């Protein structure tokens, strides 16, 4: 395919570039618009006809949501941030530890009902989370998990673990069994062979799995909006709804908050980017 | 001292038995090669000695310890894998020293033993490279280095040369032999290549379908194969094997040729036998290995001639089957040319057709 591209004529190449550009514009404009909105005054945002190029940029929207402006009451953004962080990090850690163990077991051991169990995990991914929100709400209400971080952590674990198992199973499968056997002959216990040989080789795969799990939890809105009530457990995406009143929506504040949600996810993705790429192309980079 | 003893060793996967009670005694410092076609159970047997497969029945002992229930790490063995199984995230040096590091050997000793192994195998210039940056032959050497560093009682090789090209395979074969002369250790070596088996082994164990067919020195299994399977498996080109019926004065092939049988052979008239002879026992007049031996002569047209330089392999027909002969000190031969072939009767093999067993005492 790529060989064909190289012998294409210049105008064809430009056509492809144009296509890519249009696709990227469609993908990126909403994000760019949110970021721009976060830095513009309300008047400019609501103006008709729309002001496409910002006339002035301001940090007032951010000050507003933190309660630093005299005209506006602040929101518990810091508490939301902490809730989001605690819930996402905890559920990711558990998902990785359990998912790694599960993925390893699926990749290396033969046991009864293995195929059926694996299929069951995958099928659980086909159920839209929202469809479970009502039963989940009723059960959580009975056991007293509504509006608690633990309640959300459990939900996100349930969402993330099957996916992590599926992903890590694939990564461990690509590591030849010979390596673990060689390590055992070299004097390792099975456990040591795992930690010293197989784990380091699967690390980039695990990093990819971790970032997927983290982003899933960090960005989740539908279930969190049902299961949280107060600052005790509300996460950042749920906090966005604080900006809607009965008749008005504070688009500036909402956009500023959205930027605050995007930043950690973006930073994290950049940090593990190298691992992510290495992880997703694992098969190709192996000698 | 590390002799290895297998007694009635059985391997079962569920109801499927794939190794049927093997008995084998391997002496201290002996180089034993397990050879056989794929699926004969040779690798499984090796992996049972290594502890990578559970033993379903019988006992395996190394030295005076029964190792049936010991994990691989407690058996004091080393193994070279077909895939080399080098740790991809460690340098050559780290690969070599890994076993000692796990055993918590002092840093200085690790350094010393790794350096020794590197010197023996000529790995000095590559010590800081990752396995991905080594050639096939170098990886092979690292795998062997990793095995000798640990100073094991038994060295296990699982088809170590099958991933190399023919030329490199020849070189590494010699290196393995040199290594064994230098680092005296008991070796069990698995291969499907009978040339490797013949060249490396003190003793060869020929396996088929989970059974041992014959155990012997290379010359024993070559000169006195106990059955038609061993006769066909050992030696290249393979031994010619022709069906025949015992009659007065010899064995009659299907085309009526009478081949006189060796004296003292216990056969009954009318018994169905298989007459076997190696290519070098069937040569055109004046081009044979042993000229003075007792022979019979047949005139046969050459179907195909394969010149190999020092010898030419001639394909012709005898007893209704294609047979191969060997022409030493060759001259050019055209296909279709009729030659006088001599069959060396002193090197004839006779097998019972029904059982396949050799009838020679």
Condensed to tens digits (0 to 9), the pLDDT of residues B93-123 reads 999 999 999 988 899 999 999 998 888 888 8
Q: Which of B73, B79, B86 sits opposite A189 (nearest CB)?
A: B73
Please report, for chain B, the start and end positions of each structural domain, with discontinuous segments joined by +. Answer: 4-233, 240-352
Residue A20's pLDDT band (cuts 50, 70, 90): very high
**Rounded Cα distance, B281 and B341, in Å:** 10
Nearest chain B alpha carbon to A177: B85
In the prediction, which pLDDT does A70 show? 77
Q: How many CB atoms lie within 10 A of CB B181?
A: 9
pTM comes to 0.81
| A187/B99 CB distance under 8 A | yes
Mean pLDDT of B27-42: 92
Q: Which of B71, B88, B146 sits opposite A184 (nearest CB)?
A: B71
In the prediction, which pLDDT does B1 show? 62
A77-285: CATH architecture: Orthogonal Bundle (1.10)
User: Which residues from B are below 8 Å from A when comparing CB atoms?
Assistant: 50-52, 71-73, 77-79, 81, 83, 85-89, 98-99, 102-103, 130-133, 146, 150
In the prediction, which pLDDT does B361 show? 60
ipTM reported for the complex surpasses 0.90 = no
Nearest chain B alpha carbon to A203: B89
| Chain-centroid distance, C-alpha A63 | 27
**Rounded Cα distance, B170 and B178, in Å:** 13
| Contact A197/B at CB under 8 A | yes
Condensed to tens digits (0 to 9), the pLDDT of residues A235-264 reads 999 988 888 887 888 888 889 999 999 998
Nearest chain A alpha carbon to B133: A287
Contact A69, A63 (CB under 8 A): yes
Tell me B150's DSSP state.
Answer: T
The distance of A188 to chain B (nearest Cα, Å) reads: 6
**How would you label A26-60 residue by residue, b for 16+ Cβ within 10 Å and e otherwise?**
eeeeeeeebebbbbbbbebbeeeeeeeeeeeebeb
Q: Percent of chain B, pLDDT > 90?
A: 51
The distance of B355 to chain A (nearest Cα, Å) reads: 40
For chains A and B, CB pairs below 8 A equal 65
Contacts of B86 in chain A (CB under 8 A): 182
**H or E segment and range at residue B22:** strand B16-26
Mean pLDDT of B316-321: 89
Condensed to tens digits (0 to 9), the pLDDT of residues A126-184 reads 888 788 889 999 999 999 999 999 999 999 999 999 989 998 998 898 888 889 999 99
DSSP string, B232-254: HHSSSSPPEEEEEEEETTEEEET
Name the residue with tokens 């190999």.
B308
Residue A285's pLDDT band (cuts 50, 70, 90): very low
**Average pLDDT, whole number, for chain B?**
90
B240-352: CATH architecture: Beta Barrel (2.40)
| Chain-centroid distance, C-alpha A260 | 15
In the prediction, which pLDDT does A6 show? 58
Q: How far is CA A23 from CA A16, A53, A269, B195, B316, in A?
A: 11, 21, 22, 62, 71
**Rounded Cα distance, A177 and A104, in Å:** 11
| Contact A199/B at CB under 8 A | no
Please report, for chain A, the start and end positions of each structural domain, with discontinuous segments joined by +. Answer: 2-65, 77-285
Condensed to tens digits (0 to 9), the pLDDT of residues B51-94 reads 999 999 999 999 889 999 999 999 999 999 988 899 988 999 99
Q: Is the pLDDT of residue B239 over 80?
A: yes
**Rounded Cα distance, A38 and A116, in Å:** 49
| Contact A189/B at CB under 8 A | yes
Contacts of B103 in chain A (CB under 8 A): 187
Q: Which fold has domain B4-233?
A: Rossmann fold (3.40.50)
Q: Which of A181, A188, A201 sits opposite B102 (nearest CB)?
A: A188
In the prediction, which pLDDT does A138 show? 94
| Contact A55/B at CB under 8 A | no
Tell me B262's DSSP state.
Answer: P
């Amino acid at each position: 395919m790529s060989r064909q591209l190289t012998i294409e004529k210049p105008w064809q190449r430009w056509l492809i570039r144009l296509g890519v550009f249009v696709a990227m514009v469609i993908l990126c404009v909403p994000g760019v618009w949110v970021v721009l909105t976060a830095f513009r005054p309300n008047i400019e945002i609501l103006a008709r006809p729309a002001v496409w190029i910002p006339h002035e940029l301001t940090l007032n929207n951010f000050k507003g949501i933190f309660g630093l402006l005299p005209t506006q009451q602040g929101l518990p953004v810091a508490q939301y941030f902490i809730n989001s962080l605690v819930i996402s990090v905890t559920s990711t850690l558990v998902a990785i530890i359990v998912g790694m163990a599960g993925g390893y077991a699926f990749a290396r051991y033969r046991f009864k009902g293995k195929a059926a169990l694996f299929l069951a995990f995958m099928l659980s991914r086909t159920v839209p989370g929202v469809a479970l929100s009502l039963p989940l709400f009723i059960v959580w209400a009975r056991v007293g998990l509504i509006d608690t971080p633990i309640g959300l952590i459990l939900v996100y674990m349930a969402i993330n673990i099957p996916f992590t198992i599926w992903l890590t199973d694939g990564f461990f499968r690509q590591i030849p069994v010979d390596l673990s056997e060689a390590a055992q002959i070299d004097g390792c216990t099975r456990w040591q062979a795992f930690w010293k040989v197989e784990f380091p080789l699967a690390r980039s795969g695990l990093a990819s799995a971790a970032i997927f799990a983290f982003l899933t939890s960090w960005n989740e809105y539908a279930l969190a909006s049902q299961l949280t009530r107060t600052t005790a457990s509300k996460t950042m995406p749920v906090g966005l709804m604080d900006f809607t009143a009965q008749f008005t929506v504070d688009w500036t504040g909402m956009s500023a908050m959205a930027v605050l949600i995007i930043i950690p996810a973006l930073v994290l993705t950049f940090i593990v980017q190298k691992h992510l790429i290495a992880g997703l192309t694992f098969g190709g980079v192996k000698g | 001292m590390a002799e290895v003893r297998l007694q009635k060793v059985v391997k079962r996967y569920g109801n499927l038995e794939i190794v049927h009670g093997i008995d084998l005694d391997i002496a201290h410092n002996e180089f034993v090669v397990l050879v056989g076609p794929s699926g004969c159970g040779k690798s499984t047997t090796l992996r049972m000695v290594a502890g990578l497969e559970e033993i379903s029945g019988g006992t395996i002992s190394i030295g005076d310890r029964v190792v049936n229930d010991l994990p691989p790490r407690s058996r004091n063995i080393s193994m070279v894998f077909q895939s080399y199984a080098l740790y991809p995230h460690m340098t050559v040096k780290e690969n070599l020293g890994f076993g000692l590091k796990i055993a918590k050997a002092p840093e200085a000793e690790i350094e010393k033993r790794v350096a020794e192994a590197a010197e023996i195998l000529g790995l000095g210039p590559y010590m800081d490279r990752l396995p991905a940056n080594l050639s096939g032959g170098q990886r092979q050497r690292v795998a062997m280095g990793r095995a000798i560093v640990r100073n094991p009682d038994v060295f296990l090789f699982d088809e170590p040369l099958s991933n190399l090209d023919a030329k490199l395979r020849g070189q590494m074969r010699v290196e393995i032999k040199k290594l064994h002369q230098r680092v005296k250790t008991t070796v069990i070596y698995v291969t499907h290549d009978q040339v490797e088996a013949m060249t490396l082994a003190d003793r060869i164990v020929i396996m088929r379908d989970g059974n041992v067919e014959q155990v012997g020195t290379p010359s024993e299994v070559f000169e006195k194969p106990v059955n038609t399977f061993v006769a066909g498996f050992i030696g290249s080109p393979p031994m010619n094997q022709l069906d025949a019926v015992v009659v007065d004065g010899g064995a009659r092939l299907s085309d009526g040729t009478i081949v006189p049988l060796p004296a003292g052979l216990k056969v009954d008239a009318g018994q169905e036998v298989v007459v076997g002879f190696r290519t070098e026992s069937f040569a055109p007049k004046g081009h044979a290995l042993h000229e003075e031996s007792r022979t019979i002569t047949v005139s046969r047209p050459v179907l195909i001639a394969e010149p190999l330089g020092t010898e030419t392999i001639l394909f012709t027909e005898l007893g209704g089957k294609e047979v191969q002969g060997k022409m030493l000190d060759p001259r050019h031969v055209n296909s279709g040319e009729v030659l006088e072939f001599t069959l060396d009767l002193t090197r004839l093999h006779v097998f019972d057709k029904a059982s396949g067993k050799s009838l020679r005492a």
